[in-house]
Chain A
Amino acid sequence: SFELTQPPSVSVSPGQTASITCSGDKLRHKSVCWYQQRPGQSPILVIYQNTQRPSGIPERFSGSNSGSSATLTIGGTQPMDEADYYCQAWDSSTAWRLFGGGTKLTVL
């Protein structure tokens, strides 16, 4: 079955660039989105359709999708960006909306 794999954790220094990957079979043929979830809060959409940023999401958030991996990049990472990040894609064979296991981003 289709699965999305993320690293459990990523660390970054304030002001540096953070990259979080999401891998899956033939992922480049799928539309990938990314969610940010701060502790105790509901997730919010930060990237959709691989590269699109919803209104209100800072420009430092960007996305890409090529090969077998999609990547969420946070440029000039700020302490407020410390959160869990989840990738998500639609499995066309089952119509399921699948999530990656999540990545805890630590800004230190």
Chain B
Amino acid sequence: EVQLVESGGGLVQPGGSLRLSCAASGFTLSTYRMNWVRQAPGKGLEWISYISGSGAIIYYADSVKGRFTISRDNAESSLYLQMNSLRDEDTAVYFCVRDSGGWSFDYWGQGSLVTVSS
């Protein structure tokens, strides 16, 4: 059974940093592209970052470019999101999402809540 379990969320002050982790199981992580998607309270879904299976190709949405860094450790079956210079508007549930290969997301984690507030 495919499982994606996020961790590392919490309350952080504006300007602070946080690192999210996603533990993948039930499949071979290295053979799949992965993404992070977030959802602000009461708002829609926002794709924020993509990483290829090897980690060689990375994309970011403009809203997080230069502040967030996506990475992966295939040996540890883990995906990461390093978030720096956090802003109030980064408050959201962050989902770890598997890319099916057909330009769609076939598995989602349960999400990790990040709250940026003073």
Contact = CB atoms under 8 A, between A and B. Distances in A.
Interface of A: 31, 33, 35, 37, 42-45, 48-49, 52, 54, 84, 86, 88-90, 94-102
Contacts of B37: 99
Contacts of B103: 31, 33, 48-49, 89-90, 97
B59 A43 contact: no
Contacts of B95: 42-43
Contacts of A96: 47, 59, 61
Interface residues of B, number: 20
Q: Do most interface residues of chain A lie in helix, strand or loop, or is the interface mixed? A: strand
B45 A48 contact: no
A102 B109 CA distance: 19
- Among B45, B47, B111, the most chain A Cβ lie within 10 Å of the Cβ of B45
Contacts of A54: 106
